[in-house]
């Protein structure tokens, strides 16, 4: 599933179409009024966490790539088209994506202070929300889009390794300064990820994601599905501290 930095990268590539009218709209996305979109001018493109928001004068189209979504700019893929826009200078196509129309003002639906890449991201609010569920595993909590919108599995794994926290740690037992460092690292790494994505070098910078050897201890990394979501975790048992309740051995 694409993470916040990847979505921002798609926005970067798509900004060439801003202020242009849609010459044609195609696709089988349920509930999308293709005839309404035709002729409308794309006024802006926003992102919220893992969502793309294509803004028109009286509505917006939200696109979420889900787990297996793909996109093509000025090209086509051999897949079923979910939603495609044709502009005077090119095309923008989405596949295996969740698309819907939004008629309400975006500021009434989205709390931008939850997005780790938005200028208004509120770190104190994120920490307060983490503290409300002390029994959660940190590996689940970091993926909660109502706390840290845009953070995905890659960022989760890399942040936990960089701050030396075991993914099975419970939130309530992690010292507050360490939690604050985790939140700050989510923000920092998200922007670095975007830089690397623009360079095409992101895979060169991962310390543990899809790796086999710990770069600190030079021992085999663990790979397990941890937490309620069952997302894959890559971690080192030696250098990532496990914070557990006192009654758990």
Q: Model confidence over 173-232: pLDDT tens digits?
A: 999 999 999 999 999 999 999 999 999 999 999 999 999 999 999 999 999 999 998 999
Q: Model confidence over 57-107: pLDDT tens digits?
A: 999 999 999 999 999 999 999 999 999 999 999 999 999 999 999 999 999
Q: What is the pTM of this model?
A: 0.94
> What pLDDT is stored for residue 248 in this prediction?
53
Q: Determine the Cα–Cα distance for residues 172 and 132; give it in Å rounded to an integer.
A: 9
Mean pLDDT, the chain, integer: 96
CB 73, CB 14: distance < 8 Å: yes
Ordered by where they begin, the domains of the chain are 4-109 (3.20.190.10), 112-235 (1.10.8.50)
Q: Model confidence over 136-180: pLDDT tens digits?
A: 999 999 999 999 999 999 999 999 999 999 999 999 999 999 999
Q: Is residue 246 over pLDDT 80? A: no
């Amino acid at each position: 599933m694409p993470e916040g930095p990847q979505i921002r990268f798609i926005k970067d590539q798509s900004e060439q179409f801003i202020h242009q009218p849609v010459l044609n709209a195609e696709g089988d996305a349920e509930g999308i009024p293709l005839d309404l979109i035709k002729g409308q001018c794309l006024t802006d493109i926003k992102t919220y966490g893992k969502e793309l928001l294509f803004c028109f004068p009286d509505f917006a189209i939200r696109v979420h790539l889900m787990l297996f979504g793909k996109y093509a700019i000025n090209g086509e893929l051999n897949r079923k088209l979910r939603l495609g826009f044709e502009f005077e200078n090119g095309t923008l196509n989405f596949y295996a994506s969740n698309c819907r129309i939004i008629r309400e003002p975006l500021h009434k639906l989205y709390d931008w202070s939850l997005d780790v890449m938005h200028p208004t991201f509120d770190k104190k609010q994120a920490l307060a929300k983490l503290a409300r569920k002390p029994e959660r595993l940190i590996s689940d909590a970091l993926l909660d889009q109502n706390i840290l919108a845009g953070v995905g599995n890659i960022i989760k794994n890399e942040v936990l390794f960089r701050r030396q926290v075991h993914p099975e740690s419970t939130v309530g037992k992690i010292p507050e300064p360490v939690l604050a460092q985790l939140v700050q690292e989510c923000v920092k790494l998200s922007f670095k990820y975007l830089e690397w994505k623009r360079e095409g070098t992101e895979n060169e910078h991962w310390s543990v994601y899809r790796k086999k050897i710990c770069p600190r201890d030079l021992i085999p990394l663990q790979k397990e599905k941890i937490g309620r979501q069952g997302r894959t975790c890559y971690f080192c048992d030696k250098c990532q501290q496990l914070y557990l309740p006192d009654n758990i051995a």
